[in-house]
Copies of this chain bind each other. A is one copy, B any other.
Amino acid sequence: MTTSAGLRADAERNRRQLVEAARAVFAERGLDASLDEIARRAGVGNATLYRRFPHRCLLLAAVFVDTLGAVVDAAARALADPDPWAGFVAHITFLCELQAGNRGLADLLAARVRGSAELEALRGEAFAALTALIDRAKASGDLRADFRHEDVVLILMANAGLIDRTGATAPAAWRRQLAYVLDGLRPSAAVSAAPTAPGRRQILRAMDALAERYGYQ
């Protein structure tokens, strides 16, 4: 007879195996990775996966809450840098680097996945810190005045597309492209006004559409 403590231990082991398998599979394949593959990799049945994580986004949260926490910490470190431009560059580079190392993160940073209060709260904190970094670099005259926080989403989306196309063959290519973008963000580079930025609502719609495309609604 299995004791109740034994059942709990089994459940906990299954959960841990699922989260580790999901971590690996999301990293390799992106957020739309197949749940069947995750269950297979974890060595548990599909029914167990669905029992532990009734919604796909709960599995996502279990995998990425730590990472989004690290993003929030990195933003705080960037804000602690006395040089506003250096802080801004460090944080954007940090985000693009996360994307380059993990296809799931490449997707997650450019999509708005709902359904996990914990993920959403961390996303909100990360966004607030990013906005502070942008405002500070604009106030010091280090970042062009027409830059908007929506532009960061565009940078991350373009970066996701680039690493998706070069990750296996030219893994440092994104650094080259990012260097040009960052050089273009200096006030002295702004020879003419950039075209109007997409509005906040447009960007949110784009991020929602990606979440839906990856299977999160």
Which A residues are within 8 Å of any B CB, using their own CB? 110, 151, 154-155, 157-162, 164-166, 168-170, 172-173, 175-177, 179-186, 188-191, 194-198, 202-203, 205-206, 209-210
Interface contact B184-A166, CB-CB below 8 Å = no
Residues of B within 8 A of A196 (CB): 172, 176
A205: nearest chain-B partner, CB-CB: B169
Closest 7 CB pairs of A and B: A161-B161, A184-B184, A183-B184, A170-B198, A189-B189, A180-B184, A169-B206
Q: A183-B189, A205-B169 are in contact. Are A176 and B151 (CB under 8 A)?
A: yes
Which residues of B lie under 8 Å from residue A203 when comparing CB positions?
169-170, 173
- Of B161, B166, B206, the residue contacting A170 (CB under 8 A) is B206
Contacting residue for A188 out of B157, B166, B189, B202, CB 8 A: B189
Contact between chains at B165 and A162 (CB < 8 Å):
no
Q: Which of A170, A172, A191 has the most CB of B within 10 A?
A: A170
Chain B residue numbers with a CB within 8 Å of A179 are: 184, 194-195
CB distance from A178 to the nearest CB of B (A): 8
Q: Who on chain B is nearest to A110 by CB? A: B165
Query: Can you identify 23 A-B contacts, CB atoms within 8 angstroms?
Result: A151-B177, A151-B180, A157-B162, A157-B165, A161-B161, A161-B165, A166-B198, A168-B206, A170-B198, A170-B202, A173-B202, A176-B197, A179-B194, A180-B181, A180-B184, A180-B194, A181-B181, A181-B184, A183-B183, A183-B185, A183-B190, A184-B184, A186-B191
B198 engages A176 (CB within 8 Å): yes
Main secondary structure of the interface of A (DSSP, over half): helix
**How long is the Cα–Cα vector from A155 to B196 in the complex, in angstroms?**
20
Residue pair B205, A170 in contact (C-beta under 8 Å): yes
**Residue picked from A158, A160, A198, most chain B C-beta under 10 Å:** A158
Q: Bound state CA distance, A205 and B167, in angstroms?
A: 11
